[in-house]
A and B are shown apart, each in its own frame.
Chain A
């Protein structure tokens, strides 16, 4: 079930479009649902379809077309490292390899404790900041040297231990 708070955010998004074009808000609604649930469940798709007056399949088409929606649950922290050419020239691929080693997983996998999912990503649009990675779709981390990557992973683990 999508929370009341998320539903209020849905309303904010729908209000941007003409009354007969509610479907336009589907991108934002799916992103909000993913922020709350960690992924886009079939149930969330159905709720959004009902809310926007869309066929469930039309919502599912959107979920599966765009790279950033998680059709399945992921770790608490999803790390997307850009390895496209401009980043590859400035240690983007090395950053991904470093995280693979540090987390003990290959790209595309999640850690056993459910804390991290590591993914290779295409251009994040921050080429001059390379190496760059995106945490949970919404927070960009720039100039991620190996030291900073360690600091990030260790820091997130410590924050979880405390919580």
Chain B
């Protein structure tokens, strides 16, 4: 057996994380089995019908760009990358009559710890993203787009390139799409290991061939984006949601979620559950249902805490989390955020100091170094949490951490500073006795944790 054959044995099949019957009313992951990712399979599932509908090639009259944007607005689709910004509203910010080139960018730089949904979408259903992007391009009058894919999932990048080749050959991309007057060129680009490039302006810098250091906003990408031109950046899952909305109508999408939180959402459940994986369920589904779909807490242990929206989201103790439904508003009300929908589950054997130690190291490692509060502050946070964990902490350290976090939050160009500060403050707020115990006893309250 050569090296390549050997490595192939350890490749993820998607069976555990994606091809299971524990999605609820799935729209994006419905009917996937790992082998049916090609164009013909996607079309057999109703793929590219939404595109044909807006182009008036389904026997209907077609939809104008304004009608498409109105529909997306009405559907209450909100950005799936983390911020939850209304997608239709974002699309309406693009200047209509801009005389030069405009760009569409898909943010597939999925590096928020806990998040692994875009990888499965791109790997197992790439054409749904392509179709969503063509529709978005049509709605905003854009003729060139890029999908920037996390460098660590290179096989997925190759897969997407292959899907692009299929779409071009079939006349779904390029000039005069399906014989219409619509032109759209779409290309794949990749990162190479920088968490910060998930931030949209850092991603644009990276696409321009530079270090991924975020830009000051305003101006926003809609007026000054890629190469200084008007640009719309949406997350992979956001684009993937669009074809269903066009096919089935905005009201149908809205109704399958809850008011202000339309549609389904893919949650990446990781950590202490029996069946980690991606679960596509309607917005507003109780957390307890999601936990059950993921097989419940591992080994029958008790739930201790949940980070509900990727590592940057404030942690919530079990008691608060069990009362939440999985949507932007409910999680925000509980004091955290839905973020990317990455649900990190922690059981009662977990030490919060040790967990925070790893997260704080991560933010220090990934700070781009541009803003002093973040560059210096993430180092302070990491070192102080580290000394508490290793038994060298002081009782004043918790206040010190809070103070450092406060001096980072809101004082940096991008949200990485906030993302580093928020978990620290939430951990201390909800689990302060654990930190105090660590300092006093120089050891852990829950010694099982490795």
Say which size band chain A's interface belongs to. 35 or more
A59 to B278: give the CA distance in the assembly, Å.
37
Q: Are B362 and A122 in contact (CB under 8 A)?
A: yes
> Does A124 have its Cβ within 8 Å of any Cβ on chain B?
yes
Q: Which of B152, B188, B189 contacts A124 (CB 8 A)?
A: B152
Q: Is the CB of A27 within 8 A of B10?
A: no
Q: Report whether A137 and B151 are in contact in the complex, using a CB–CB cutoff of 8 Å.
A: yes
* B-side interface size class: 35 or more
| B208 & A128 in contact (Cβ 8 Å cutoff) | no
Query: Which of A21, A23, A126, A143: most chain B Cβ within 10 A?
Result: A126
Instruction: Tell me the minimal C-beta distance from A134 to chain B in angstroms.
Output: 6
Partner of A130, one of B111, B212, B270: B270
**B192 touching A127 by the CB < 8 A rule?**
no
Query: For residue A116, which residues in chain B have a CB less than 8 angstroms away from its CB?
Result: none
Whether B355 contacts A85 by the Cβ 8 Å rule is yes
Q: With an 8 A cutoff between CB atoms, is B119 at the interface?
A: yes
User: Is residue B1 within 8 Å, beta carbon to beta carbon, of the partner chain?
Assistant: yes
Given contacts A68-B152, A140-B155, A159-B6, contact A129 B113 (CB under 8 A): no
Asked if B44 is at the interface of the complex by the 8 Å CB criterion, the answer is no
Residues of B within 8 A of A121 (CB): 152, 193
A90 partner residues in chain B, CB cutoff 8 A: 270-271, 276
A52 touches B (CB below 8 Å): yes
**A125/B110 contact (C-beta < 8 A), A24-B207, A156-B6 known:** yes
For residue B7, which residues in chain A have a CB less than 8 angstroms away from its CB? 135, 139, 141, 152
In the complex, the answer to whether B195 meets A123 with C-beta atoms within 8 Å is yes
Taking CB atoms, residues of chain B closer than 8 Å to A111 are none
Nearest CB of B to A135, in Å:
6
Q: How far is the CA of A54 from the CA of B311 in the complex (A)?
A: 36
Do B344 and A138 touch across chains, with their CB atoms under 8 A apart? no
Q: Does B448 belong to the interface (CB within 8 Å)?
A: no
A159 in contact with B189 (CB, 8 Å): no
Hey, which chain A residues are within 8 Å of B151, CB to CB?
27, 31, 66, 68, 137
Q: Across chains A and B, which 4 residue pairs bring their CB atoms closest together, nearest first?
A: A67-B193, A68-B193, A23-B209, A141-B10
A residues adjacent to B (C-beta < 8 A): 16-18, 21, 23-28, 30-31, 52, 54, 58, 61-62, 65-69, 77, 83-86, 88-90, 93-94, 121-130, 134-135, 137-144, 148, 151-152, 155-156, 158-160, 163
